Structure 1
């Protein structure tokens, strides 16, 4: 049985790290994260997140947040336990999912304030999630499509699956098509965005990975069923300063992630499914027109 931390224990941790804050309230938060997460309120009206997780998970998130600490969208780490069992970072006050404003607006903010700050990743010849890296970007996408097919079942046809697979071969069949490696957030969906006054103000819960920037960009674009259209895509994409691809390839890459998004919708957000199915048919026709 897991015992919940007390205010006294939390304040001892703060003192140990020479942080002059008094915590007066602890609130356990629920969510999709694998670890235990708590919101901490201090007597100085500051708010923090305390997260307990596996040391390798803490280390990966710490690496991502420290690498991009210049981004105004990311929380700042206050301190990390020496054994990497937990860390504390600033709490971003706002709402997730709702009151987002237009996708064109928040996706453009995401590009300018996060993606344009991404760094190339030089430390490995492998791709994908940092906890289980793969030999190629093609392999990562093939696994994603196979996992989506399991979730999709008979909702889409075998021809749809074959089309998604053919798009992967077309896009990533050659080494030059893999793209440049960057350290990515890895889970840039609206469920991990914080909004205030209909504007994007924060990005939380990274699941760090190595891949091309365009992955995080398209993942964000497809993460809600509204405005999955060319106008929104191009308006935000035109602000991307690095990791760019031509717009025909951009359309093809959206089709792969949209197939995967149908699978995620069936598993996690079935109420969005009808809109995603319409978007899938529309995007499939766009791809065929550009071939």
Structure 2
């Protein structure tokens, strides 16, 4: 959709004071187009265009968790879900300084994930355009995708171990709307390295620990049990019942190794070392 038409619509809806605005292109996802609406030299709003199903679920995520301060505030959603508008989160995006990961995870658990809300039982697990009846089926799908990428980077017995581990997960009937892409690349930091914002959700319906482990595995530093345990404990028994943390982390690390091979091969040695560490803990 032409951006000028969007600006005109936002002006007519009373979102913008004028339909003539200074814009600044921002880096979007694989399918989204993102621009900032400037207030002088400072970004004020973000306009994101994407597939309507993705816009609808991202708007739902921001609306559902409007009370979470680290998330942007939803300002406007197009009635046809062609685009949405949300407030710009000031700070340094994606510049993780590898400080204290345990503190970062604890902040995420306390200020974000602990505030997730359960969904009605009729909702399916997974992404809106690829739903699953069971959470385990979504994870098995991700496991198969990851195996095709990892191939002989890991021995076949490791692939079989992960497949058996995921297939043997007990049903927990927990459905929450998750960020889905809760990694350091989507974190906004202040100059002193403090986490101030989280951007670009790719919402998934699933279990809250998935987001915490995603964040934990999204950088190759401090991938130890001691770094994630305090945050996992902070989520409380209602969000972590029946979990075996070692096995859950091993699943998330398997998915991350596949992402590493595709996008960050320079980190593979560190992830390989972490894999050995967690595999020994999970067996």
TM-score by length of 2: 0.91
Structure 1 CA distance, aligned partners of 2:173 and 2:212?
Answer: 14
Q: Find the partner of 1:136 among 134, 137, 150.
A: 134
Q: How has the CA–CA distance of structure 1 residues 102 and 179 changed in structure 2, closer, same or farther, with 3 Å as cutoff?
A: farther
Structure 2 CA distance, aligned partners of 1:32 and 1:273?
Answer: 23
> The residue matched to 2:24 in structure 1 has which SS?
strand
For residues 17-28 of structure 1, the aligned pairs below 5 Å read 17-19=13-15, 21-22=17-18, 24-28=21-25
Contact 2:54 2:128 in 1 (8 A): no
Structure 1 CA distance, aligned partners of 2:256 and 2:208?
Answer: 18
For residues 214-229 of structure 1, the aligned pairs below 5 Å read 214-229=209-224
Question: How far off is 1:269 after superposition?
Answer: 1.1
Quick check: 1:204 aligned with 2:199? yes
Contact 2:37 2:44 in 1 (8 A): yes
Q: How has the CA–CA distance of structure 1 residues 44 and 71 changed in structure 2, closer, same or farther, with 3 Å as cutoff?
A: same
Q: Find the partner of 2:26 among 19, 26, 29.
A: 29
Structure 2 CA distance, aligned partners of 1:146 and 1:11?
Answer: 43
Comparing 204-213 and 62-71, the one that deviates more: 204-213
Quick check: 1:149 aligned with 2:143? no
Alignment partner, residue 187 of structure 1: 181
Contact 1:75 1:90 in 2 (8 A): yes
Aligned length, in residue pairs: 279
Contact 2:36 2:43 in 1 (8 A): no
Structure 2 CA distance, aligned partners of 1:215 and 1:182?
Answer: 10
Structure 2 CA distance, aligned partners of 1:274 and 1:205?
Answer: 28
Question: How far off is 1:30 after superposition?
Answer: 2.3
Alignment partner, residue 257 of structure 1: 252
Question: How far off is 1:100 after superposition?
Answer: 5.5
Question: How far off is 1:245 after superposition?
Answer: 3.1
Q: How has the CA–CA distance of structure 1 residues 193 and 33 changed in structure 2, closer, same or farther, with 3 Å as cutoff?
A: farther
TM-score by length of 1: 0.89
Quick check: 1:14 aligned with 2:14? no
Structure 1 CA distance, aligned partners of 2:48 and 2:85?
Answer: 6
Structure 2 CA distance, aligned partners of 1:276 and 1:39?
Answer: 35
Structure 1: 5+ residue stretches without partners: none
Quick check: 1:39 aligned with 2:36? yes
Q: Find the partner of 2:113 among 115, 140, 145.
A: 115
Structure 2: 5+ residue stretches without partners: none
Comparing 77-86 and 220-229, the one that deviates more: 77-86
Contact 2:119 2:175 in 1 (8 A): yes
Alignment partner, residue 231 of structure 1: 226
Comparing 201-210 and 70-79, the one that deviates more: 201-210
Question: How far off is 1:205 after superposition?
Answer: 1.2
Question: How far off is 1:106 after superposition?
Answer: 1.4
1:147-172 Cα deviation digits (max 9, x unpaired): 111111211110110111121133x1
> The residue matched to 1:207 in structure 2 has which SS?
coil
Alignment partner, residue 285 of structure 1: 280
Alignment partner, residue 124 of structure 2: 126
For residues 71-86 of structure 1, the aligned pairs below 5 Å read 71-86=68-83
Contact 2:49 2:84 in 1 (8 A): yes
Contact 1:100 1:195 in 2 (8 A): no
Contact 1:21 1:43 in 2 (8 A): no
Structure 2 CA distance, aligned partners of 1:145 and 1:29?
Answer: 32
